[in-house]
Structure formats: C-alpha cells, structure tokens
Amino acid sequence: MPVVLLFVAALLVAPSALGVLGTFLADVPYVGLAAAYVPWYLPWLTVASVAGGVLAVVHWRLRHSRIAAVLAVVAALTVAGASVITARMTAAVEHAGADISLIDTFGIGTPRQAPPDDEATYTTFEGQPLRLSIYRPG
C-alpha cells in the first residue's frame, strides 16, 4: 500500500513540476516545450501538486523514505512556482483592464469565445466570400 501512495504521488507531482519548470525555463531546449499546456491547466496542476505532496508526506510518515521526502519538497516547490505564475498572469490580465475570477480558471481548459460584434465579407477567393469577424472593445 505505501508503494502505491508513492507511485500516485509521483504521477500527480511529476507532470505539474515539469510544466512549472518549463514555464520558468522556457528558453531551455525541450524543457520549455513542457509549458505548452500550463496556461490552460495551471489551477488543476496546483491542486494535483498539493494532493501529490500530501500523499508523499503520508508515505514519508509511514516509511521515512528519502524518495517521499524529496517528492514532498518538489511538490511544495511546484505549488510555490505555480502560485508565482498565477499571480503574474492575473496581474498582467488585470493591468490590461480585464476582470478575472480565479474560480472560473478551473474550467475544462478551453478558452471561452465571445461571438463577434459584426461580420463582413472582406474579399472573395475563387468565387467564395472570405468573411471577417469584427470584435469591438468592450
């Protein structure tokens, strides 16, 4: 049973840690690619890191394993890094004039799109009209 705890903790923490590390080290080849999924799933990655960290601490209390201790520390660093990323993204969005609810960021990972304010035919190509969606500032 304790080995299962450690395995599940590693499965929860490792992808989150890789994504957060990739966000901070975006210029490092291959590591920065891990950040591609982070903006859409950051709140869930934070929750997964907390859950994995709790499981690692439980395993450490049962077995005093070094691996569990390291995993708990990695989970704590991942939560701290994800919190910094969330704070910076939230500040940037609010500075741009938008209102953001952190609860709403727990969506399924797809951005919501507003319908365009107007649509017009821009030009034609091979007899087919090319439509243009117009979005006006709110």
Cα 22 to its chain centre, rounded Å, is: 11
Q: Tell me the per-residue pLDDT of 8-50, one tens digit each, with 9 for 90 and over.
A: 999 999 999 999 999 999 888 888 888 888 888 889 999 999 9
Cα 6 to its chain centre, rounded Å, is: 23
Question: Which pLDDT belongs to residue 61?
Answer: 93
Its sign, for the CA torsion 64, 66, 71, 74, is positive
Long-range CB pairs of 14-21 (<8 Å, 24+ gap) are 15/45, 15/48, 16/45, 16/46, 16/48, 16/49, 16/52, 16/75, 16/78, 16/82, 17/49, 17/74, 17/75, 17/77, 17/78, 19/45, 20/45, 20/78, 20/81, 20/82, 20/85, 21/81
Q: Tell me the per-residue pLDDT of 49-75, one tens digit each, with 9 for 90 and over.
A: 999 999 999 999 999 999 999 999 999
State the distance between the two ends of the chain, measured CA to CA, in whole angstroms: 55
Question: Which pLDDT belongs to residue 97?
Answer: 84
Q: Tell me the per-residue pLDDT of 73-121, one tens digit each, with 9 for 90 and over.
A: 999 999 999 999 999 988 998 888 888 888 877 876 566 677 888 999 9
